[in-house]
């Protein structure tokens, strides 16, 4: 049972990451590969405030969102100078920069040693120390983020984002400042990602830079591509699929000496086949 709860918590955390990135990539058409940086920033702010200052988890979570918003505002303003592939390359560079900061600013982040002993959340004297209570907290935050993403995507603001994705030049003709919309959704997506980082840090009770590499950004991107771009349900579905699929392959019965390699092979083949025959994802409305 603990194993299933663990998987459900991970699905919730990555569901939040998928929802946040889907607003940027799926709805706005901005190919961002820097999401792991904001995920890590939320995790590190929470970890530092909890371990060094004894702050409450929810205070640390809000602080992480604010700091991530300020940082993403600077990054988004810089990336707004680029278009298309250059935007993706620029976001790639920022992810590398943040990973280097997490790794080398040892006075603050402890570098490769990581930050241990991160406390579980507590609220009004109640501690979310058990896996079941932490799962309920994760699902509550996932529902909140989902509601925000749904509100944004179904609002007039969301319709402008979709118009930018389809033809940015045309929307500018009608007097819309597309740069403002793109920067706003980039910051909102980053703040949502920091929520997932705070949850991850408190759940695992330990973080180090290896979690927030470029590979993690690519994994989050794969979640929304698999589940379906421009579909909030697809972001959560993609998270569930990519978390559960490697676990299900453990029970296939490959020979023990090649089991790990075979699981990765099958995992990769399934993703390739899906992208060949369903490039918009499982329930997507848009394809890159």
In a domain, 178, yes or no: yes
In a domain, 65, yes or no: yes
In a domain, 53, yes or no: yes
In a domain, 11, yes or no: yes
Q: Which residue from 247, 202, 194, 181 is spatially nearest to 11, judged by alpha carbons?
A: 247
Distance CA 224, CA 239 (A): 8
Distance from the Cα of residue 256 to its chain's centroid? 33
The answer to whether 243 and 7 are in contact (CB under 8 A) is yes
Buried b / exposed e across 2-24, counting CB within 10 Å, b at 16+? eeeeeebbbbbbbbbbbbbbbbb
pLDDT at 261: 74
In a domain, 282, yes or no: no
Task: Give the E-state strand segments of the chain in sequence order.
Answer: 115-116, 122-123, 126-127, 206-207
Q: Is 203 helix (H, G, I), strand (E, B) or coil?
A: helix
pLDDT at 258: 66
pLDDT at 288: 66
pLDDT at 266: 74
Q: Which residues in the chain show pLDDT less than 70?
A: 253-254, 256, 258-260, 263, 288
In a domain, 288, yes or no: no
Q: Which residue segment(s) compose the domain that 53 sits in?
A: 2-214
Q: Which residue from 273, 193, 276 is spatially nearest to 235, judged by alpha carbons?
A: 193
In a domain, 278, yes or no: no
pLDDT at 250: 77
Count of domains observed in the chain = 1
In a domain, 249, yes or no: no
Distance CA 277, CA 212 (A): 31
């Amino acid at each position: 049972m603990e194993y299933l709860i663990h998987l459900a918590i991970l699905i919730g955390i990555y569901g939040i990451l998928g929802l946040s990135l889907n607003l940027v990539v799926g709805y706005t058409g901005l190919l961002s590969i820097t999401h792991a940086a904001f995920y890590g920033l939320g995790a590190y702010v929470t970890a530092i405030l909890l371990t060094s200052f004894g702050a409450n988890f929810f205070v640390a979570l809000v602080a992480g969102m604010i700091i991530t918003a300020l940082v993403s505002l600077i990054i988004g303003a810089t990336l707004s100078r680029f278009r298309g592939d250059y935007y993706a390359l620029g976001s790639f560079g920022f992810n590398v920069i943040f990973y280097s900061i997490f790794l080398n600013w040892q006075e603050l982040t402890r570098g490769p040693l990581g930050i241990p002993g991160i406390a579980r959340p507590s609220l009004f004297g109640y501690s979310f120390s058990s896996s079941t209570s932490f799962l309920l907290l994760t699902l509550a935050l996932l529902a909140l983020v989902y509601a925000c993403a749904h509100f944004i995507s179904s609002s007039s603001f969301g319709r402008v984002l979709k118009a930018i994705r389809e033809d940015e030049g045309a929307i500018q003709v009608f007097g819309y400042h597309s740069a403002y919309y793109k920067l706003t959704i980039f910051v909102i997506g980053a703040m949502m990602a920091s929520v997932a980082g705070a949850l991850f840090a408190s759940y695992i009770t330990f973080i180090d830079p290896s979690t927030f590499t470029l590979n993690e950004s690519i994994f989050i991107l794969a979640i929304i591509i698999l589940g379906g771009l421009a579909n909030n349900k697809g972001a959560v579905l993609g998270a569930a699929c990519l978390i559960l699929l490697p676990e299900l392959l453990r029970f296939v019965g490959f020979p023990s000496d090649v089991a790990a390699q075979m699981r990765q092979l099958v995992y990769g083949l399934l993703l390739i086949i899906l992208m060949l025959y369903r490039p918009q994802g499982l329930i997507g409305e848009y394809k890159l």
